């Protein structure tokens, strides 16, 4: 390393939240990702939150074209990308306008003055220049003409004005690396790999990165702008990497297929924010993975069903609008009792909704969204790394019970990254799929395992076991088409019972934090895990009897959930939707669950959860114990 | 086939299910033609799969003793594509109808053909919706009176063969339900590497009776049937008419032989010529039957899929999940 960051005296911080923001063409996602990678390699725990517009290149300088990336890193275990940024990097007036309200009072603000032209100020709706009108008084400000300094730093490479200007994100990254004592090696390596075909451009970007770093070292930084060090976090021993939810889910599916000893077929149609699942799996052909970019959402799920009929594990991935289109076909997989995994990376709805924003929009659609009584298994991942485990669990349940399984994640998990302790495949018990090969007495395709109620799975090509299946109702004892009224009722009950019994094969309801019988339990599912866990911890630190219960199994619900929830004085259900789990809990368990909704396309902040929990608790009292939990 | 040790017959391909099409339905003849063709191909019930959508035709798999999947409306091509990618060694047939393939499943039909997945798709065209009780279909003639078009349909119909050619299909053939040549057409389709599309004109005796009588009737048929043979002049079955290219309009004229027209002036069928296939696929008075177009040199989709998998495995990429998880930047915490 050319210039070590270690020789200077740095102020120690235990945690920092930085938000990078700029035009959607400014490369803020890349800057954030590279900062996160370098930070992870330095041993900090971290969580990220990319927030970008739906437009690929919105007109420059506009408010709706602002793209942001927040990273929270610390010397201790953290679970969320942080509430308010300590540091805001704003590449233009529009980015400043959108993000300044979020910056902590007294926080550090780094602005690119080069972009503060009168045209850009107009576009952002500023009537006076915030650089001069006192807007910045509550903050510690580092105002630099990053645009001009970047052009200077790459002048020797003769790039042309546009390409040269694009290097400013790396210049900024270089400066941030200096301020927070990060190493540049991994980013330099990444730049050279990315621009391998154009070494001149690669070296220009490296030069910009180094120039930003040198600027930090040599320039006299204004009062209040310090340089910092965030020591390593104390993480459990092991080998770590950063991982995003979509990569984790893709790899979990591959691991699941391996444990099931089945080839994996992934049929998908591009949709935000699920497309990167397709991209990740398309690179894994050597793992007996075939990806199929179908002509539409329906063909994507239909092809997966065809592959499952053929004896592979068929998987499809999409977001809420895609699930809506796949619904009829999912019903076919339920009726024909074929294994199928449906990954729903949720986003804001209804309809096209908010494609790039996060929302827990599809719980109702997942659990109840089909014609007929059509039960399936619904799982939800809690963190980016948890997506890996949910991918495995989905394949296990789908193949063991011959049923579709829906895995709910969301945009926040899909794009967010966290350090992840890499598990070993040795730690997972294999669950080889069983294809019937010998003709049993009285064979028909809807013969069932008496315990799991799973029907037999026969691969076409197997002699003596030829059979026909379809979406029409089948006779329970023959597998032939049946319109018999009593049979339809029996089959409907059977399909429901098969799914209900899966509760015996998944963990019982347990509290993530706290003890039964307290004043209030906060029940969450999906990506709100980290925010709820930390909020509950903060309220508990003040001595209140609050607990946290997190659901990974949404259908069937885990055993013991009703009695556990009933032991609390209050049940609070925070959700990033208009109240879906809360209705499901009330309907299924007859508990007085109360909603707390946030439908802004943004994740919960810890602080807003803390204040809502405290509001509900009211003044501390010893006379409000919960009902004693029954054994 | 001599290499097949089991001598199979039509009976080996018939299931134990009672056939439930209306009496006189053209589907019976198509079913019989298929059950006759399969043993001659050397097919076995265990390695053969029929995949269908929804409609009268789509009940077909229940009557075959092979593997079968009666799926949902319009989606059979997509389900069959997934099956064929996962299990390329299986012999897959898609059974569909004019509504199933050209209306609700139009998109999948298009993409199956352009991909050239190695399977056969048989479209039963009766120009009507049968199972929903007689509404007009995308192949119904303008003016068809049905419950949903009481004063006549106003939708322009499509010609299935032309849709197929437009979608870049590499094998396009046409027959009709009671024709003796149908088993042979199925065999030709089966032998084709890639998606083989066969349109079968099929009479619906209940909702659209006699719609193809002009072509299929024993008396009138020979004047209107033109059975195509590669390398031979295009002449109707009664040997009286032929097809001649009009160089001024670039259209095909139906000409009467003998009236100053000799056989040497007629078009000669070249089944590898897609332009010719287009010109003869939708003539007003004469129905071209047999193989309209065949291009066996086109790449086959499922072969290409397997080739990429093979290449990835050959490239020495590790298929070790642990190695996958440890790829990229990692760090140790002790």
At B140-171, the pLDDT tens digits run: 999 999 999 999 999 999 999 999 999 999 99
Read off the pTM.
Answer: 0.91
- The owner of tokens 């420059």 is A60
Contacts of B84 in chain A (CB under 8 A): 306
Contacts of A329 in chain B (CB under 8 A): 72, 75
Mean pLDDT by 10-residue block, N- to C-terminus, for chain A (631 residues)? Answer: 55 92 91 92 90 80 91 90 93 95 92 95 94 91 95 94 93 95 93 94 96 92 83 89 95 98 98 96 96 98 98 98 98 98 96 93 97 98 97 98 98 91 97 97 97 98 98 96 97 98 98 97 97 95 97 98 98 98 98 97 93 93 51 42
- In this prediction, the residues of chain B whose per-residue pLDDT falls under 50 are 1-2
Contacts of B91 in chain A (CB under 8 A): none
Sequence-distant (6+) residues with CB within 8 A of A587 are none
A389: distance to nearest CA of chain B, Å?
A: 13
Q: Do A303 and B17 touch (CB under 8 A)?
A: no
CA neighbor of A393 nearest in space, from A275, A497, A259, A261: A259
pLDDT for A622: 55
Q: Which two tokens stand for residue A620?
A: 């501390």
Contacts of B89 in chain A (CB under 8 A): 461
pLDDT for A7: 59
ipTM metric: 0.97
A248: distance to nearest CA of chain B, Å?
A: 9
Q: Give the ranges where B14-105 is alpha helix by DSSP (H).
A: 27-41, 76-86, 98-99
pLDDT for B4: 53
- Output the furthest CA–CA distance in chain B (Å, rounded): 98
pLDDT for B331: 87
pLDDT for A499: 98
Contacts of B315 in chain A (CB under 8 A): 286
- Which among A391, A470, A475, A480 is the top mutation candidate for probing chain B, defined by the most B β-carbons within 10 Å of its own β-carbon? A470
- Please give the sequence-ordered ranges of beta strands (E in DSSP) within A82-223, or none if there are none: 87-90, 108-112, 140-144
Q: Do B322 and A304 touch (CB under 8 A)?
A: no
A462: distance to nearest CA of chain B, Å?
A: 6
pLDDT for A630: 47
The beta-carbon neighbor of B69 closest among A43, A242, A470 is A470
- Which among B321, B328, B334 is the top mutation candidate for probing chain A, defined by the most A β-carbons within 10 Å of its own β-carbon? B321
CA neighbor of B226 nearest in space, from B168, B275, B181: B181
Q: Do A468 and B67 touch (CB under 8 A)?
A: yes
Using CA atoms, how far apart are residues B167 and A309, in angstroms rounded to an integer? 27
- Residue A350 CA neighbour count, 13 Å, CB half: 4
Q: Do A240 and B17 touch (CB under 8 A)?
A: no
Contacts of A466 in chain B (CB under 8 A): 45-46, 65-67
Using CA atoms, how far apart are residues A620 and A311, in angstroms rounded to an integer? 59
Pairing of strands A553-555, A546-551: unpaired
How many CB pairs (< 8 A) connect A and B? Answer: 195
At how many degrees (to 10) do helices A297-309 and B76-86 cross?
A: 50
Annotate B89-102 with DSSP letters as a single string: TSEEEEEEEHHIII
* Number of helical H runs and strand E runs in chain A: 20, 22
A187: distance to nearest CA of chain B, Å?
A: 11
CA B90 to chain centre: 18
Contacts of B317 in chain A (CB under 8 A): 285-286
B93: distance to nearest CA of chain A, Å?
A: 13
CA neighbor of A339 nearest in space, from A302, A313, A320: A313
């Amino acid at each position: 390393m050319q210039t070590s960051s270690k020789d200077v005296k740095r102020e120690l911080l235990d945690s920092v939240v930085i938000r990078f923001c700029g035009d959607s063409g400014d490369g803020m996602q890349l800057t954030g990702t590279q900062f996160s990678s370098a930070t992870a390699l330095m041993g900090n725990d971290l969580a990220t939150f990319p927030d970008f517009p739906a437009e690929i290149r919105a007109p420059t300088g506009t408010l709706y074209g602002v793209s942001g990336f927040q990273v929270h890193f610390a010397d201790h275990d953290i679970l969320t990308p942080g509430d308010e940024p300590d540091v805001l990097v704003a590449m233009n007036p529009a980015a400043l306008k959108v993000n300044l309200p979020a910056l902590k009072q007294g926080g550090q603000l780094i602005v690119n003055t080069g972009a503060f032209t009168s045209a850009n100020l107009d576009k952002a709706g500023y009537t006076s220049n915030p650089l001069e009108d006192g807007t910045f008084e509550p903050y510690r400000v580092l105002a630099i003409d990053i645009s001009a300094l970047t052009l200077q730093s790459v002048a020797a490479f003769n790039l042309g004005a546009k390409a040269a200007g694009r290097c400013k994100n790396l210049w900024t990254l270089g400066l941030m690396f200096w301020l927070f004592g990060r190493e540049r090696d991994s980013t330099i390596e990444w730049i050279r790999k990315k621009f391998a075909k154009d070494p001149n451009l690669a070296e220009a970007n490296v030069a910009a990165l180094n120039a930003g770093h040198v600027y930090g070292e040599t320039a006299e930084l204004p009062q209040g702008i310090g340089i910092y060090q965030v020591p390593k976090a104390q993480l459990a021993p092991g080998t770590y990497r950063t991982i995003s939810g979509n990569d984790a889910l893709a790899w979990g599916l591959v691991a699941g297929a391996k444990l099931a000893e089945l080839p994996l077929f992934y049929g998908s149609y591009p949709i935000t924010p699920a497309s990167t699942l397709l991209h990740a799996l398309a690179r894994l052909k050597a793992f007996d993975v075939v990806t199929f970019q179908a002509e539409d959402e329906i063909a994507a799920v239909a092809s997966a069903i065809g592959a499952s009929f053929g004896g592979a594990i068929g998987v499809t991935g999409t977001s809420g609008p895609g699930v809506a289109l796949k619904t009829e076909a999912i019903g076919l997989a339920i009726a024909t009792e074929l294994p199928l995994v449906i990954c729903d990376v949720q986003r804001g709805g209804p309809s096209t909704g908010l494609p790039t924003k996060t929302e827990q929009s599809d719980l109702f659609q997942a659990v109840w969204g089909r014609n007929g009584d059509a039960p399936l298994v619904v799982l939800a991942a809690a963190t980016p790394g948890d997506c890996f485990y949910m991918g495995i669990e989905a394949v296990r349940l789908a193949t063991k019970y011959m049923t579709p399984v829906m895995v709910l994640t969301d945009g926040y998990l899909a794009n967010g990254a966290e350090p992840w302790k890499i598990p070993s495949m040795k730690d997972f018990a294999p669950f080889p799929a069983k294809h019937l090969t010998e003709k049993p007495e009285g064979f028909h395709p809807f013969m069932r395992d008496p315990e799991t109620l799973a029907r037999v799975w026969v691969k076409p090509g197997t002699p003596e076991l030829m059979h026909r299946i379809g979406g029409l109702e089948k006779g329970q004892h023959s597998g032939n088409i049946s319109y018999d009224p009593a049979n339809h009722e029996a089959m409907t009950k059977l399909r429901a019972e098969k799914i209900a019994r899966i509760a015996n094969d998944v963990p019982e309801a347990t509290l993530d934090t706290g003890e039964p019988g307290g004043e209030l339990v906060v029940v969450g599912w999906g990506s709100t895990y980290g925010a709820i866990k930390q909020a509950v911890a903060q309220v508990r630190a003040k001595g209140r009897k609050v607990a946290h219960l997190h659901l990974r199994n949404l259908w069937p619900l885990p055993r013991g959930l009703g009695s556990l929830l009933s032991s609390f004085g209050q049940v609070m259900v925070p959700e990033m939707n208009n109240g879906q789990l809360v209705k499901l809990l009330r309907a299924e368990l007859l508990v007085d669950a109360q909603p707390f909704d946030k439908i802004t396309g943004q994740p919960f902040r810890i602080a807003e959860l803390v204040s809502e929990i405290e509001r509900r608790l009211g003044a501390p009292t010893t006379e409000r114990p919960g009902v004693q939990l029954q054994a | 086939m001599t290499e097949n040790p089991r001598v199979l017959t039509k009976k080996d391909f018939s299931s134990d299910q009672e056939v439930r099409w209306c009496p006189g339905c053209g589907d019976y003849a198509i079913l019989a033609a298929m059950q006759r063709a399969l043993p001659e191909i050397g097919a076995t019930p265990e390695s053969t799969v029929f995949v269908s959508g929804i409609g009268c035709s789509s009940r077909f798999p229940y009557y075959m003793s092979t593997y079968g999947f009666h799926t949902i409306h319009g989606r059979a091509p997509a389900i069959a594509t997934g099956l064929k990618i996962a299990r390329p060694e299986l012999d897959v047939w898609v059974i569909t109808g004019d509504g199933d393939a050209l209306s609700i499943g139009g998109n999948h039909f298009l993409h199956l053909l352009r991909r050239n997945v190695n399977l056969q798709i048989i479209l039963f065209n009766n120009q009507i919706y049968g199972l929903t009780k007689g509404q007009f279909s995308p192949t119904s003639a303008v003016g068809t009176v049905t419950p949903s078009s009481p004063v006549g349909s106003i939708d322009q119909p499509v010609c299935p063969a032309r849709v197929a050619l437009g979608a870049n299909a590499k094998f396009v053939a046409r027959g009709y339900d009671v024709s003796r040549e149908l088993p042979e057409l199925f065999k030709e389709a089966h032998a084709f590497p890639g998606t083989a599309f066969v349109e079968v004109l099929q009479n619906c005796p209940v909702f659209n009776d006699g719609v193809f009588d002009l072509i299929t009737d024993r008396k009138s048929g020979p004047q209107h049937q033109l059975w195509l043979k590669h390398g031979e002049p295009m002449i109707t079955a009664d040997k009286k008419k032929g097809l001649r290219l009009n160089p001024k309009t670039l259209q095909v004229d139906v000409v009467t032989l003998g009236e100053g027209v000799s056989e040497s002036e007629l078009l000669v069928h070249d089944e590898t010529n897609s332009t010719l296939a287009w010109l003869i696929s939708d003539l007003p008075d004469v129905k071209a039957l047999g193989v309209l177009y065949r291009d066996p040199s086109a790449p086959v989709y499922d072969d290409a899929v397997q080739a990429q998998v093979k290449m990835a495995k050959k490239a020495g990429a590790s298929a070790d999940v642990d190695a996958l998880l440890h790829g990229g930047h990692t760090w140790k915490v002790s």
